Amino acid sequence: MSASAVVIGAGVSGLTTAVCLAESGMDVRVDTDRPPGATTSAAAGAMWDPYLAEPRDLVERWSRVTLSVLTELSSVTGSGIRLLDGTQQSRIPCELPTWGPLVGARRCAPGELRDGFVAGWRYRAPLVDMPRYLRYLVDRLTEAGGRVREHHYDSLDDALPEAPVVVNCSGSDARFLAADAEVEAVRGQLVVVENPGIHRFFCDDTPGAEDLTYIYPHPDVVVLGGTSDRDNWELRPDRAEAEEIVRRCAAVEPSLAKARIVEHRVGLRPARSSVRLAEERHADTLLLHNYGHGGAGLTLSWGCAREVAERVRAARVTSP
C-alpha cells in the first residue's frame, strides 16, 4: 500500500493536513493508532477560539485562515459546523480580545451579563460537533483518493521509509514519537447533556480564573466544560470533576441542573511553548511536524494544514 504522503494521526490536525495534501493531487495515507472518534480532537467542545496558543503572529494568521474555512463549511450539510451567537464574559473588567473584530465582537449591554459577571463580548463564531466533523473530513479525504489505516509507530524512523513525504500530527503523543520533552498533556474533561432549550454559547473568560466554565449548545445536546489539568494523562472520566462541571454551568444557566447526562468526554490537549510546524530532510524523505496546538487545535487546523501543503509543494518544486 504505497503512498506519496503519509500523515501520522487522525485527529483534526492530521485529517485536515491529509485533506489539503490529497486535494493538491497527492496520494495520501493517514496512519493512526486510534480511530478518529477516539482522539483528543473528538473530545473537544469545540469553538473557534485562539486560546492561549503561541507564536502569537502565526497563531493570528492560522486562526484567521481557519475562521474563513469553517465559516464556508458551516453551509455544507453534514459538516457538523454551525455559526452560533453567544457571549464570553468576565468577572473582572477586561479588554476586547485581539481577535474580537474578526468575529464582530461588541461589548455586552449590562442586561446581557450573567450574575457575577461585569464585562463581556457578544459575537458569532463557528461551533463544531467534533465527532461529526471528523467523519466529514474522513469522507472528504476518501473522495480525494486518500485512506486511513490503523497503525502504531514506535518511532518516526519507522515511518520515514513509508513515503517521500511524512507529516507528524501525533498531538500529545509527539512527546514520545518525536522525543519532544516540551510537549505536555493538559487533560480536559467535558460533560454532554440533553439540550434543555439553550441556543446561545456562553464562556467564562475571566483572566486568571482557575476553572473553565463554558456552555456549547448543539441542536440536541449541550457540551459543558471543563477542566484543564497539566501533566495528567488519565483518559478515564472522573465523577467528582463531572459533578463540579455541571454545578458550575448550572450556576450560570439553571436549566442545566437537571439535564440528563448522555456522555462524558476526556481529551489531552497537546501543550507546548509554541506550535511546532517545521520540516526536516532525512535522505529521500521530507518530514514535517504539525503538533503542539494546545487548546486551539481546531482553531488553527486549516491555517496549519495549508502551510504544510504549501511547504510540501515548495520542496517538491525545488527538489531535483
Q: Which residues bind ligand FAD (CB under 6 A)?
A: 8-14, 31-34, 39-41, 43-47, 49, 152-153, 169-173, 177, 188, 190, 226, 267, 269-270, 291, 293-299
Looking at residue 103, its amino acid is: V
Task: Say if residues 254 and 240 touch (Cβ distance below 8 Å).
Answer: no
Q: Kindly tell me which of 25 and 211 has the beta carbon lying closer to ligand FAD.
A: 211
**Alpha-carbon span 75 to 96, nearest angstrom:** 28
Taking the complex as a whole, the smallest distance from the CB of residue 259 to ligand FAD amounts, in Å, to 18
The CB-of-314 to ligand FAD minimum distance in angstroms stands at 23
Contact between 249 and 213 (Cβ < 8 Å): yes
- Stated as kind and residue range, the H or E segment containing 142 is helix 130-143
Residue 138 vs 190, nearer CB to ligand FAD:
190
Per DSSP bridges, beta strands 213-217 and 201-204 are antiparallel
118-152 in b/e burial notation, b at 16+ Cβ within 10 A? ebbbbbebbbbbbbebbbbbbebbeebebbbeeee
Distance of closest approach, residue 295 Cβ to ligand FAD, in angstroms: 5
**In the bound complex, what is the minimum distance in angstroms from residue 86's beta carbon to ligand FAD?**
12
Least Å from the CB of residue 250 to ligand FAD: 19
Q: For residues 89 and 121, what is the distance between their CA atoms, to the nearest angstrom?
A: 6
CA distances from 240 to 187, 205, 210, 256 (A): 15, 23, 17, 17
Question: Which residue lies nearer to ligand FAD by CB, 97 or 316?
Answer: 97
Q: Under DSSP, is residue 264 helix (H, G, I), strand (E, B) or coil?
A: strand
223 vs 286, beta carbon nearer ligand FAD: 223
CB 216 within 8 A of CB 47: yes
CB of 152 to ligand FAD, least distance (A): 4
For residues 152 and 149, what is the distance between their CA atoms, to the nearest angstrom?
10
Distance CA 274, CA 296 (A): 11
Separation of alpha carbons 311 and 17, rounded Å? 12
What's the min distance (Å) between Cβ of 225 and ligand FAD?
Answer: 6
| Contact between residue 43 and residue 285 where contact means Cβ atoms under 8 Å apart | no
What phi and psi, each to the nearest 5 degrees, are found at residue 312? -65, -45
Q: Which residues pair with 135 in a beta bridge?
A: none
Give the shortest CB-165-to-ligand FAD separation in angstroms: 16
Question: In terms of CB distance, is 109 or 211 closer to ligand FAD?
Answer: 211
